[in-house]
């Protein structure tokens, strides 16, 4: 990177007439920076306070006086820039000054003499000369020539220029890429292989410029021309390309609009004729000030195009062209002032190098080819893109033998040829995938085979079918038992005990009686299930009855019933039967467990016998002797044990069956006794209620609906039969004359007597009022008194 400020040079145009002395002086001390002093002529300084001659001093890199030749200008100003461009840096030389100050003469040159050639042709000549000298580098040169007039860009090298006026040509527009690089659309780039070609392009552009210019439109004074030399260079074989641009800029005349000429307003209020120069000055001012964040490049096309030249990646040089005649003093001073500002701008020029992908591909392709050639020398065979058929066949043979080789350390040797290695991998992958697919189909074949082998598994299938049948039987038994229990509860009063006994007998025989083979087929849980189901049926029956009791009896009536039951003669019998039933249940349970044990024992013995038998056979085969004719004592012992267990099993099973019959019979007896007790209670209760109704007055406000007088406290109980459903559903006992429905009577009679202490859930005691509760209690007390009286009479 090269950091440097914009170089400023001054060039004074020769005057035609003999110039008055004392307008300017150049102080050129070799050790110091040259100074240009512009002395305001006395007549122009009129009006100043002290009438003193005023002078302005400006520093320049170098000041070229009137006699400076084009050659000198080139050598001092353009040549260093051209050299940096050849080295790969961007460069810009622009001429700034009022119209007629020699900008075009300096940049392009005079048209009359060869020696008047300006910077452009000399630079072109120099560059091509240098390029020719440097044979180690490949160079490409392109030329573009842009004119900016009235903020519009025109391509001076457009071939249509001859046939069209400037305005009809496509405008050159600015495009900016994401990296903020400027690209000019519609600006043609013309390759120039030689100095001559490049010069022809320059002349073409200048000619086009002149054609476009008319006497009415002095475009040259108001337009900017940017002649650009694009240089690309690279070392042979290198993919790194250097790009450099050299802008040679002939700006529009910098003269101002307001040219007061004299007095205090001199050089203060004047404005540029050309707007883009105004913007150029804005950019220059912005760049020359420190810490300015925004540089207004975009304000004009010219500043956009020269963006890199001003405060960017460029080595820039300015030539201030001065026409130091008396009438141009103000403009000259303006030009110098402008140059002073420009001199403050610091640029950072970097080498524009980039990797050319096209060149990179070419280089890599070349490298590949070289390596291939090198390899061919080693292997002795020229490699082609694809493997030959013979090579492929050979590889597949190698893979097959590798896969078949059982040695875990075997290797697949195919050499270092990557094509062969890759082919091996592909082939193995293919084999693996094929095997996967084949594997799947093999599995399905195996399944089919299994299906085909069904006859072989017939035995197992039969076994499963038998188990299934057993399970079905068990389920049927359980369902029947449940039905039986339900029916028993429902038909307790209506079915004859004989009928039920028969029914139960037929349903409660789940196993074929006394068949040892049949016993062997029993599922392991069968005896337990018998017991459990019986218990369940019994309990569910109790539950049902208890529920029925809760539903059907009021609390007071329950109390009365409990007392009635306790004092009843049959209650002893019921209690006895209950105890016997409990005993039988526990017996049945113990018996069921013993049966289970015996059954397991039978199974174990059978297993032992089978094993023993197999051992004997195996022994006979191993010792190559015939089966012993003598019977095996151990086996016989096991067999006798087995028979003993079977007998036990049979006995116990018979006993269990008998127990079951007894249990069911006892349950039946209890049911009958309970029904009898219930009936007697109901009869007594009715009787008691009737007597209360007759003897006691009504107790509550409902008495007015009844035809007979009642005391308020006994109204409810004494006015109606107390077993009416609407009355007994809770503690509230309401009078009703309706007869007892048949089904309702059944519900009542099936009420269980198992609970010695009746439960009194709050939910079943709907309280409608304190008076009703009281009357309920009174009814109970009355009933109790009546029972006591009855007992006394007995
Ligand atoms: P500008 O482009 O700044 O308007 P030109 O370069 O056209 O000015 O110059 C105006 C005239 O002055 C031209 O005829 C040109 O030949 C002449 N001229 C300018 N500078 C010099 C110079 N250094 N030596 C000889 N003639 C010059
Ligand atoms: Mg000009």
Model confidence pLDDT, tens digit, residues 343-358: 998 888 888 888 877 7
Q: For 74-88, 98-112, 399-413, 481-495, which range has the lowest pLDDT when averaged over its residues?
A: 481-495
Confidence at residue 18, expressed as pLDDT on a 0 to 100 scale: 64
Residue pair 495/668 in contact (Cβ under 8 Å)? The answer is no
For ligand 1, what atom is nearest to the CA of residue 97?
3
Higher pLDDT, 97 or 504: 97
- Summarised one tens digit per residue, pLDDT across range 680-725 is 888 877 777 777 666 655 444 434 433 333 333 333 433 344 334 3
Q: Residue 162 burial by CB count (10 A; 0-12/13-18/19+): exposed, middle or buried? A: exposed
Instruction: Round to whole Å and give the CA distance between 547 and 755.
Output: 11
CA dist 253 and 268 (Å) reads 18
Q: What is the pLDDT of residues 496-528, one digit of tens each?
A: 444 444 434 444 433 333 443 333 333 333 333
Is there a binding annotation on residue 100?
yes
Given a cut of 50, whether residue 611 has pLDDT beyond it is yes
- Would you state the pLDDT for residue 105? 95
List, in order, residues 6 or more apart from 57 with CB less than 8 Å away. Answer: 35, 36, 37, 38
Higher pLDDT, 608 or 765: 608
Compute the distance between CA of residue 337 and CA of residue 60 in angstroms, rounded to an integer. 11
Q: Is the CB of 100 under 6 A from ligand 1?
A: yes
Alpha carbons 276 and 251: distance in angstroms, whole number? 10
252-300 per-position pLDDT tens digit: 999 876 544 444 444 444 567 788 898 998 898 888 887 778 889 888 9
Instruction: Please answer whether residues 731 and 765 qualify as being in contact, where contact means their C-beta atoms are separated by less than 8 angstroms.
Output: yes
Q: Which ligand 1 atom lies nearest to the CA of residue 98?
A: 3
pLDDT of 625: 63
Does residue 335 have a known ligand-binding role?
A: no
Asked if residue 65 has its Cβ within 6 Å of ligand 1, the reply is: no
> What does the alpha-carbon distance between residue 339 and residue 343 come to, in Å, rounded to a whole number?
6
Q: Whose CA is nearest to atom 1 of ligand 1?
A: 100
Of all atoms in ligand 1, which is nearest to the CA of residue 250?
A: 2
In whole angstroms, what is the distance from residue 452 CA to residue 446 CA? 9
pLDDT at 167: 72
For residues 26, 29, 31 and 35, what is the CA-based torsion angle, rounded to 10 degrees?
Answer: -20
The ligand 1 atom nearest the CA atom of 105: 6
**DSSP letter (8 states) at residue 704:** G
The alpha carbon of residue 366 and the mean position of all alpha carbons in its chain are separated, in whole angstroms, by: 46
Q: In sequence order, what are the residues at sequence separation of 6 or more whose Cβ sits closer than 8 angstroms to the Cβ of residue 691?
A: 786
Are 638 and 609 in contact, with CB atoms under 8 Å apart? yes
Is residue 97 marked as binding? yes
The rounded distance, in Å, linking the Cα atoms of 277 and 257 is 12
Closest residue (by CA) to atom 25 of ligand 1? 14
CA pair distance 549, 555, nearest whole angstrom: 10
What confidence score (pLDDT) does residue 757 get? 37
Residue from 27, 33, 119, 103 nearest 65 by CA: 27
Nearest-CA residue for ligand 1 atom 10 is: 100
Can you say how many angstroms the Cα of residue 452 is from the centroid of all Cα atoms in its chain? 49
pLDDT of residue 779: 60
Q: Given this model, what pLDDT does residue 731 score?
A: 33
Is residue 167 within 8 A of residue 158, CB to CB? The reply is no
Query: What's the CATH architecture for 2-41+53-357?
Result: 3-Layer(aba) Sandwich (3.40)
Higher per-residue pLDDT: 306 or 628: 306
Higher local confidence (pLDDT), 335 or 511: 335
What radius of gyration do the chain's Cα atoms show? 65
Output the pLDDT for position 505.
Answer: 42
What per-residue confidence (pLDDT) applies to 19?
57
Least confident span in 180-194, 195-209, 656-670: 656-670
Q: Structure tokens of 196?
A: 């001559």
Task: Pick the most confident of 221-230, 250-259, 471-480, 560-569.
Answer: 221-230
Does ligand 1 lie within 6 Å of residue 108's CB atom? no
Contact 272, 256 (CB under 8 A): yes
Distance 159 CA to ligand 1 centre (A): 28
Cα separation, 409 vs 41, in Å, equals 107
> Is 59 a residue whose pLDDT tops 70?
yes
- Percent of the chain at pLDDT above 70? 68
Q: Which residues surround ligand 2, an ion (CB under 5 A)?
A: 103-104, 220
The residue whose two tokens read 């000298």 is 133
Name 733's Cβ contacts closer than 8 Å, sequence gap at least 6. 554, 556, 557, 716, 717, 720, 722, 727, 772, 775, 776, 779
The helices-and-strands tally (H runs, E runs) of the chain is 23, 17
Ligand 1 centroid to Cα of residue 118, in Å, is: 11
Q: Is 620 annotated as a binding residue?
A: no
Instruction: With residue 240 as reference, give the H or E element that holds it.
Output: strand 240-250
**What is the DSSP secondary-structure string of 362-405?**
HHHHHHHHHHHHHHHHHHSS---SS--HHHHHHHHHHHHHHHH-
Report pLDDT for 769. Answer: 42
**Which tokens in the block code for residue 148?**
């900016």
| pLDDT, position 761 | 39
DSSP letters along 428-484, please? HHHHHHHHHHHHHHHHHHHHHHHHHTGGGGHHHHHHHHHHHHHHHHHHHHHHHHHHH
Residue 82: what pLDDT?
96
What does pLDDT average to over the chain?
A: 74
Q: Is 264 annotated as a binding residue?
A: no
Q: Is 769 annotated as a binding residue?
A: no
- pLDDT tens, residue by residue, 6-53: 999 999 999 876 656 668 888 877 777 898 998 876 665 555 445 555
Model confidence band, residue 784 (pLDDT cutoffs 50, 70, 90): low
Q: Which two tokens stand for residue 576?
A: 């006895």
Using a 6 Å cutoff on CB, does residue 110 contact ligand 1?
A: yes
Measured by CA distance, the residue closest to atom 16 of ligand 1 is 110
For CA atoms 657, 658, 663, 666, the dihedral sign is positive
Q: Residue 106's closest CA among 90, 91, 123?
A: 123
Q: What is the pLDDT of residue 696?
A: 53
CA of 229 to the centre of ligand 2 (A): 20
As a whole number of angstroms, the distance between CA 434 and CA 437 comes to 5
Residue that has been written with the tokens 């002893």 in this structure: 572
* pLDDT higher than 70, residue 1: yes
Ligand having the closest approach to the CA of 103? 1
Query: CA-CA distances (angstroms) from residue 298 to 26, 486, 791?
Result: 37, 103, 128
- Report the separation in Å between the CA atom of 104 and the middle of ligand 2, taken as the mean of its atom positions: 4
178, 165 contact by CB (below 8 A): no
Helix or strand (DSSP H, E) at 35: strand 35-39
- 641 CA → ligand 1 middle, Å: 143
pLDDT exceeds cutoff 60 at 582: yes
| Residue to mutate, 11, 12, 13, ligand 1, most ligand atoms under 8 Å from C-beta | 13
| pLDDT score of 734 more than 50 | no
Grouping H, G, I as helix, E, B as strand and the rest as coil, residue 511 is: coil
> Is the beta carbon of 105 within 6 A of some atom in ligand 1?
yes
Q: Is the pLDDT of residue 246 over 60?
A: yes
Residue 26 Cα to ligand 2 middle (Å): 25
d(CA 537, CA 293): 100
pLDDT per residue over 457-480, tens digit each? 677 888 888 888 888 877 777 777
582-589: list long-range contacts, CB under 8 Å, 24+ apart. Answer: 584/659, 584/662, 584/663, 584/666, 585/534, 585/535, 585/538, 585/663, 587/659, 588/531, 588/534, 588/656, 588/659, 588/660, 588/663, 589/531
Q: What pLDDT is recorded for position 383?
A: 64
Q: Does residue 34 line the site of ligand 1, with CB under 6 A? A: no
* Of 15, 77, 100, 331, best ligand 1 pocket probe by most atoms within 8 Å of the beta carbon: 100
Report the C-alpha gap between 681 and 464 in whole angstroms.
57
Give the ligand at the shortest distance from the Cα of 11. Answer: 1
Q: What does residue 222 show for φ and ψ, rounded to 5 degrees?
A: -110, 0
State the distance from the centre of ligand 2 to the C-alpha of 219, rounded, in angstroms: 9
Centroid of ligand 1 to alpha carbon of 315 (angstroms): 26
Element (H, E) at 230: strand 224-234
Listed range (395-404, 593-602, 744-753) with the worst mean pLDDT? 744-753
Token output for 615:
């051992």
Q: Which residue has better confidence, 402 or 381?
A: 402
Work out the pLDDT band at 101, boundaries 50, 70, 90: very high
For the record, the structure tokens of 51 come out as 């009438």
Residue 776 has pLDDT above 60, yes or no: no
């Amino acid at each position: 990177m090269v950091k440097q400020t914009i170089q400023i040079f001054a060039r004074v145009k020769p005057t035609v007439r003999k110039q008055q002395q004392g307008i300017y002086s150049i102080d050129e001390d070799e050790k110091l920076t040259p100074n240009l002093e512009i002395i305001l002529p006395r007549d122009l300084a009129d009006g100043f306070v002290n009438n003193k001659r005023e002078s302005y001093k400006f520093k320049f890199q170098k000041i070229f006086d009137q006699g400076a030749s084009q050659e000198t200008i080139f050598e001092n100003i353009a040549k260093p820039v051209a050299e940096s461009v050849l080295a790969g840096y961007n460069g810009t030389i622009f001429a700034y000054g009022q119209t007629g100050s020699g900008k075009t003469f300096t940049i392009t040159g005079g048209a009359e003499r060869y020696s008047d050639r300006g910077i452009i042709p000399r630079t072109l000549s120099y560059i091509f000369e240098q390029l020719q000298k440097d044979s180690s580098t490949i160079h490409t040169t392109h030329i573009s020539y842009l004119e900016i007039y009235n903020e519009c860009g025109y391509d001076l090298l457009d071939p249509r220029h001859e046939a069209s006026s400037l305005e009809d040509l496509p405008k050159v527009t600015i495009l900016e890429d994401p990296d903020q690089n400027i690209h000019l659309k519609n600006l043609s780039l013309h390759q120039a292989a030689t100095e001559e070609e490049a010069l022809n392009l320059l002349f073409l552009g200048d000619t086009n410029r002149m054609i476009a210019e008319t006497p009415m439109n002095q475009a040259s004074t108001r337009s900017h021309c940017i002649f650009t030399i694009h240089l690309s260079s690279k070392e042979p074989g290198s993919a790194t390309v250097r790009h450099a641009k050299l802008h040679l800029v002939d700006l529009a005349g910098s003269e101002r609009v307001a040219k007061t000429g004299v007095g205090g307003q001199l050089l203060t209020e004047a404005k540029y004729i050309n707007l883009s120069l105004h913007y150029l000055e804005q950019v220059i001012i912005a760049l020359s000030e420190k810490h300015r964040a925004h540089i207004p490049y975009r304000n004009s096309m010219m500043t956009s195009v020269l963006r890199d030249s001003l405060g960017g990646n460029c080595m820039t040089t300015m030539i201030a062209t001065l026409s130091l005649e008396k009438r141009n003093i103000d403009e000259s001073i303006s030009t110098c002032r402008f140059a002073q500002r420009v001199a403050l701008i610091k640029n950072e020029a970097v080498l524009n190098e980039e990797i050319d992908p096209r060149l990179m591909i070419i280089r890599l392709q070349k490298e590949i080819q070289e390596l291939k050639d090198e390899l061919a020398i080693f292997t002795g065979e020229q490699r082609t893109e694809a493997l030959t058929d013979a090579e492929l066949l050979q590889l597949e043979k190698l893979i097959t033998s590798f896969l078949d080789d059982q040695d875990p350390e075997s290797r697949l040797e195919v050499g270092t040829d990557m094509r062969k290695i890759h082919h091996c991998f592909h082939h193995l992958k293919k084999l693996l995938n094929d095997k996967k697919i084949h594997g799947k189909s093999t599995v399905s074949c195996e399944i089919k085979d299994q299906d085909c082998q069904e006859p072989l598994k017939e035995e197992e299938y039969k076994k499963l079918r038998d188990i299934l049948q057993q399970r079905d039987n068990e389920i049927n038994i359980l369902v029947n038992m449940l039905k039986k229990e339900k029916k028993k509860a429902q038909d307790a009063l209506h079915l004859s005990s004989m009928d039920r006994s028969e029914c139960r007998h037929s349903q409660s025989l789940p196993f074929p009686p006394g068949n040892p083979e049949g016993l062997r087929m029993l599922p392991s849980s069968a005896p337990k299930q018998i017991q459990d189901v019986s218990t369940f049926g019994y309990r569910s029956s109790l539950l049902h009855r208890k529920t029925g009791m809760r539903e059907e009896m009021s609390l007071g009536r329950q109390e009365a019933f409990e007392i009635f039951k306790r004092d009843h003669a049959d209650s002893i019998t019921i209690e006895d039967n209950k105890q016997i039933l409990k005993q039988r249940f526990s017996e049945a349970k113990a018996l069921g467990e013993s049966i289970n044990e015996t059954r397991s024992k039978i199974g174990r013995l059978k297993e032992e016998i089978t094993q023993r038998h197999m051992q004997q056979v195996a022994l006979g085969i191993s010792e190559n002797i015939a089966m012993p004719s003598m019977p095996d004592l151990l086996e016989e012992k096991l067999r006798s044990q087995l028979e003993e267990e079977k007998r036990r099993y049979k006995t116990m099973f018979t006993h269990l069956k008998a127990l079951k019959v007894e249990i069911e019979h006892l349950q039946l007896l209890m049911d009958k006794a309970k029904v009898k007790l219930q009936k007697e209670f109901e009869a007594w209760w009715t009787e008691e209620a009737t007597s209360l109704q007759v003897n006691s007055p009504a107790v509550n406000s409902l008495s007015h609906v009844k035809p007979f007088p009642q005391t308020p406290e006994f109204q409810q109980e004494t006015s109606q039969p107390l077993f009416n459903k609407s009355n007994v559903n809770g503690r509230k006992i309401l009078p009703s004359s309706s007869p007892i429905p048949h089904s309702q009577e059944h519900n009542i009679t099936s009420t269980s007597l198992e609970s010695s202490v009746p439960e009194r859930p709050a939910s079943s005691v709907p309280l409608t009022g304190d008076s009703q509760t009281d009357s309920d209690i009174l009814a109970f007390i009355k009933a109790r008194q009546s029972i006591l009286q009855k007992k006394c009479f007995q």
